[in-house]
Amino acid sequence: MTDLERDARVRRAAFDWLEEQVRLHGGEVLPRALLARGFDFEGIRVPLLGPQGIFKPKAMVIPISIATVPSGPYDDGFSKDGLLHYRYRGTNPEHPDNVGLRAAMARRVPLVYFHRIVEGKYFTAWPVFIVGDDPARLTFQVEIDDARFSSYVPGALPALDSTVEARRAYVTTTVRRRIHQQSFRERVLQAYQEQCALCRLRHEELLDAAHIIPDSEPDGDPVVPNGLALCKLHHAAFDSMFLAIRPDYSIEVRKTILEEDDGPMLLHGLKAMHDKRIILPRHKANWPNRAFLERRYERFLKLEIT
């Protein structure tokens, strides 16, 4: 077995392991410690994330991953051309890490992309492909593909056509949007100490970051003061205007809901919230924007009248 053939086997095992971790953790955001520890392959530990952005485990001959740390030393980022522009390691085009990514590009080897969302947590996407090299700007161009197309056979270059390019452009755009969504979610949950602001539920898998002003509106920005950590029940109730949060941070349940009689879930899950005060983040800068709450509350009152 050649080194490249062994590399391909390890790479396939890495993708399978990541797929399992995403399933176990309920989403693409994974702990850094887990990724840095990696998995065992034939008695050898294979980490997937290292201290540098471009990472190649000892068990492999071509890098397995690239990582972006926002506000880090490199200005990686998505551009208007639909590509991820990824900075070289340092300024020397012949640095071994840069040479490794060039080899991945030449052989069309799939990699993993990690994007730090908050401290200790990374959004994970694969397969990604190096599709361009710009030594003058010290950057590589990267496309993200659907996970179903992550296979790699040494010596057999996958075909590239307009269908592949269109699919990758779509997936790359989707991943960019997902990164923004997950970043908002993690920052909001972190601000609320991973608990529902209404009922204190702490199971992260059952928590969402709800927008006060919807992100479809001009000022519905994905910032913590425009967010609330809510369990899935209370998120759905908030979005459906079954309840509102007044500008004084107290909860108001819709009158028609208070008058209903529909079992213990309605009683304890919704009606019992009426007139209680929400749990607020520790830092006042993260508290819900009162003007946003007032605007949403006005919509709630109009619905009550109708």
Q: What is the pLDDT of residue 239?
A: 95
Q: What is the pLDDT of residue 302?
A: 87
C-beta separation of 27 from 182 below 8 A: yes
Question: Which residues in the chain come in under a pLDDT of 70?
Answer: 71-76, 80-81, 155-159, 263, 304-306
Q: What is the pLDDT of residue 1?
A: 77
Q: What is the pLDDT of residue 74?
A: 54
C-beta separation of 55 from 49 below 8 A: yes
Q: What is the pLDDT of residue 72?
A: 57
* Contacts for 147 with CB less than 8 Å, ≥ 6 apart: 15, 19, 126, 127
First-last CA distance in the chain: 73
Residue type, 25: H
Q: What is the pLDDT of residue 18?
A: 97
* Contacts for 44 with CB less than 8 Å, ≥ 6 apart: 58, 59
Smallest Cα–Cα separation from 52: which of 16, 84, 76?
A: 76
Smallest Cα–Cα separation from 295: which of 246, 253, 255, 249?
A: 246
Q: What is the pLDDT of residue 157?
A: 66
Q: What is the pLDDT of residue 304?
A: 67
C-beta separation of 142 from 84 below 8 A: yes
The 10s digit of each residue's pLDDT in 253-283 is: 999 888 887 767 777 788 899 999 999 999 9
